[in-house]
């Protein structure tokens, strides 16, 4: 695993990085929040171990920026601030776990493993393609920072197209898969469903004008853009 440690106390950083090495994990050290953001721009990480009190940019400012950019990397807050108010604020800001100092490395490693397992299970429930995230458990779709819960038909249709990007699906194929209909009922039920999906994922106040990659091929059918 690749772990980013954002910690300004060098002795603690050396101790943790040495522990990561014994486990065969790759640890990267950043002494402050700004350096942490720079490290994250260079490579992906499986988890972030974050101190609260940091120079230049503290842990909470770092976390606010990272989450505001739409990233979901699991974060463990590692700090001497152990009162309940600080813990609640950390979880409200988007951390997944909280380990007060002083700590045992074995416990830190166990918490990182638990986060990794939890994220693996979560990722199987998420379908991500071309900037859209589809949650197969909640049926929630997220596009350009805007989320909406889809109906069962809307979800099945969108999932069907996303699983085969670039492939053109006729209305007949969509009717068979989503509605279980093997004949053409001479209705526009597919077109209406597509229209509802687009409407739900179009936020009127969004600054970005990037269109949903759900394409209509007139007289042929629909497809999810491959790029």
Cβ neighbours for 75, distance < 8 A, ≥ 6 positions apart: 47, 48, 49, 50, 63, 66, 94, 95, 96, 97
Cβ neighbours for 111, distance < 8 A, ≥ 6 positions apart: 76, 97, 99
CA–CA distance, 160 with 158 (Å, rounded to integer): 5
Average pLDDT, whole number, for the chain? 87
Q: What is the DSSP letter of 169?
A: B
> Is 82 a residue whose pLDDT tops 90?
no
The DSSP bridge pattern shows strands 2-6 and 47-50 to be parallel
For 36-43, which contacts have Cβ atoms below 8 Å and span 24 or more sequence positions? Answer: 36/4, 36/6, 36/62, 37/62, 37/65, 37/66, 39/4, 40/4, 40/66, 40/71, 40/73, 43/2
Percent of the chain with pLDDT over 90: 41
How would CATH label the architecture of 2-124? 3-Layer(aba) Sandwich (3.40)
What's the pLDDT at 205?
58
Does 1.10.15.40 match the CATH number of domain 127-224? no
CA–CA distance, 147 with 42 (Å, rounded to integer): 28
> Is 21 a residue whose pLDDT tops 80?
yes
Poorest-confidence range of 16-20, 70-74, 109-113, 149-153? 70-74
Which residues in 60-95 are b (16+ Cβ under 10 Å) and which e?
Answer: bebbeebeeeeeebbbbbbbebeeeebbeebeebbb
CA–CA distance, 58 with 51 (Å, rounded to integer): 8
What's the pLDDT at 211?
81
pLDDT band, residue 197 (cuts 50/70/90): very high
Residue range(s) occupied by CATH 3.40.50.2300 in the chain: 2-124
What's the pLDDT at 104?
93
Residue range(s) occupied by CATH 1.10.10.10 in the chain: 127-224
What's the pLDDT at 90?
85
| pTM of structure | 0.56
The mean per-residue pLDDT over the stretch 205-220 comes to 77
Cβ neighbours for 203, distance < 8 A, ≥ 6 positions apart: 144, 145, 146
The DSSP bridge pattern shows strands 140-143 and 132-135 to be antiparallel
* 104-140 residue pLDDT tens: 999 999 999 888 877 665 556 788 888 888 888 788 9
């Amino acid at each position: 695993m690749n772990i980013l440690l954002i910690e300004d106390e060098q002795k603690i950083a050396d101790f943790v990085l040495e522990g990561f090495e014994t486990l065969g994990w790759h640890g990267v050290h950043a002494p402050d929040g700004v350096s942490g953001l720079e490290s994250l721009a260079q490579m992906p990480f499986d988890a972030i171990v974050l101190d609260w009190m940091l120079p230049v940019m503290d842990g909470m400012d770092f976390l606010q920026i990272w989450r505001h950019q739409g990233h979901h990397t699991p974060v463990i807050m590692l700090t001497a601030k152990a009162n309940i108010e600080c813990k609640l604020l950390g979880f409200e800001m988007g951390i997944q776990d909280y380990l007060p100092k002083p700590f045992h490395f074995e416990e830190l490693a166990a918490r990182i493993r638990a986060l990794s397992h939890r994220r693996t299970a979560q990722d199987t429930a998420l379908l991500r393609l071309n900037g859209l995230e589809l949650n197969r458990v909640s049926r929630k779709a997220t596009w350009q920072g805007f989320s909406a819960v889809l109906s069962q038909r809307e979800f099945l249709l969108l999932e069907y197209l996303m699983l085969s990007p670039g492939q053109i699906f006729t209305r007949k194929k969509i009717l068979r898969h989503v509605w279980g209909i093997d004949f053409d009922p001479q209705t526009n039920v597919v077109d209406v469903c597509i229209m509802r999906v687009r409407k739900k994922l179009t936020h009127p106040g969004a600054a970005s004008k990037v269109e949903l990659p759900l394409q209509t091929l007139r007289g042929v059918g629909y497809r999810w853009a491959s790029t």
